[in-house]
Amino acid sequence: MTTTATTSIVDVQDVSLAFGSVKALQDVSLTLAAGEITALVGDNGAGKSTLVRCISGIHKPQSGTISFEGKPVHFRSPEDAREAGIETVHQNLALVDDLTVWQNLFLNREITRGIGPIRFLDRKAMKEAADRMVSNLAVNVPAVKSKVRRLSGGQRQAVSICRAAGFSSKLVIMDEPTAALGVQETAKVEALILKLRDDGHSVLLISHNFSQVMRLSDQVWVMRAGRCVAGRRTIETTGDEIVSLITGSREK
Partner 1 sequence: MNSLGSPRPRKDAAGWQQDVKSIGWWAEHAAIIGLIGLSIVFTSLSPVFLTAGNIQSILVAASILIVLTVGQSFVILSDGIDLSVAATMTLGVIAFGMAYAQGAGLLVSMLAAIAASSVIGILNGVLVAKGRITDFIVTLGTLSVASGLALVLSDGKPISITSIELINFSTHGVLIFGNPFIVAAAVAIIAHVVLFRTRFGTHLFATGGSKEAAQATGISTARIKIAVYTISGVLAGVAAILLVARVGASEPAANTTFLLNSVAAVVLGGVSLTGGRGSIFGPIVGALLLTVLTNGLTLMNVSQFYQPLAVGVVVILAALLSRFQK
Which residues in this chain contact Mg ion in the complex, by CB under 5 A?
A: 49, 91
Contacts of 213 (CB under 8 A, 6+ apart): 39, 41, 205, 207, 220, 234, 239, 242
Nearest distance in Å: CB 156, ligand ATP = 18
What is the spatial distance between Cα 114 and Cα 26, in angstroms, rounded to a whole number? 49
Contacts of 44 (CB under 8 A, 6+ apart): none
Return the residues of window 202-221 that contact partner 1 according to CB under 8 A. none
Return the residues of window 62-81 that contact partner 1 according to CB under 8 A. 77-81
User: Which helix (H) or strand (E) element contains residue 31?
Assistant: strand 22-33
What is the spatial distance between Cα 43 and Cα 36, in angstroms, rounded to a whole number? 23
Adjacency order of strands within the sheet including 86-89: 86-89, 171-175, 202-206, 37-42, 219-224, 227-233
Choose the binding region for ligand ATP from 28-36, 44-52, 108-116, 162-170 (rule: CB under 6 A). 44-52
Choose the binding region for partner 1 from 9-17, 103-111, 217-225, 229-237 (rule: CB under 8 A). 103-111
135 binds partner 1 (CB under 8 A): no
Choose the binding region for partner 1 from 65-73, 104-112, 196-204, 240-248 (rule: CB under 8 A). 104-112
Of ligand ATP, partner 1, Mg ion, none, which one does residue 47 interact with (CB within 5 to 8 Å by kind)? Answer: ligand ATP
Nearest distance in Å: CB 96, partner 1 = 4
**Strands 37-42 and 71-73, how do they pair?**
unpaired
Cα angle vertex 79, ends 51, 95, to 5°? Answer: 80
Query: Do 217 and 187 form a contact (C-beta atoms < 8 A)?
Result: no
Q: Pick between residue 58 and residue 129 the one whose CB is nearest to partner 1.
A: 58
Of Mg ion, ligand ATP, partner 1, none, which one does residue 22 interact with (CB within 5 to 8 Å by kind)? Answer: ligand ATP
User: Which helix (H) or strand (E) element contains residue 121?
Assistant: strand 118-121
Q: Pick between residue 206 and residue 216 the one whose CB is nearest to ligand ATP.
A: 206
What are the CA-CA distances from residue 217 to residues 168, 233, 238 (Å)? Answer: 22, 9, 12
Which member of 12, 24, 158, 181 binds ligand ATP (CB under 6 A)?
A: 24
Residues in contact with ligand ATP by CB under 6 A are: 19, 22, 24, 42, 44-50, 91
Residues in contact with partner 1 by CB under 8 A are: 57-58, 77-82, 88, 90, 92, 94-99, 103, 107-110, 112, 119-121, 123, 139-143, 146, 150, 152, 154-155, 158, 184-185, 188
